[in-house]
Amino acid sequence: MDLLDRITIDPAIRFGKPCVRGTRLTVGDVLGTLAAGCSETELLEDFPQLSHEDVLACMAFAAERERTLMVSTGVG
C-alpha cells in the first residue's frame, strides 16, 4: 500500500479535511501534535488507532501538498 492511500478526504468527515483512513484524526491533528513537541511514541500511545505508517503517511501527504502548492507572487 502506498503511504498516501492511508489518507482520505471525505466531505462528510471533519468537513473534508484530509484524515488518516478509518479515523477522524486529520493530517493537521497529527502533524500539529508532533510540531507541539509530542514524540511519535507519545502520539501513538495517546492514539492507539494510529500506526507508525500512518504518521509517515501524514508527513508524506504534507510534503506532497507542499510540492504542488501554487504560489501567487502578486505580480500581474
| pLDDT, tens only, 1-11 | 699 999 999 99
Q: Is residue 12 part of a domain?
A: yes
Tracing cell 482520505 back to the chain, one arrives at 8
User: What is this structure's pTM?
Assistant: 0.86
Number of structural domains in the chain: 1
Q: Is residue 74 part of a domain?
A: no
- Rounded to the nearest angstrom, the gap between the alpha carbon of residue 36 and the centroid of all alpha carbons in its chain is 15
Q: Is the Cβ–Cβ distance between 20 and 58 less than 8 Å?
A: yes
**By residue range, what is the domain housing residue 27?**
3-68
Q: Is residue 15 part of a domain?
A: yes
Nearest C-alpha neighbor of 30 from the set 5, 59, 3, 2: 59
| pLDDT, tens only, 10-49 | 999 999 999 999 999 999 999 999 999 999 999 999 999 9
Q: Is residue 75 part of a domain?
A: no
Q: Is residue 76 part of a domain?
A: no
Residue count of the chain, please give it: 76
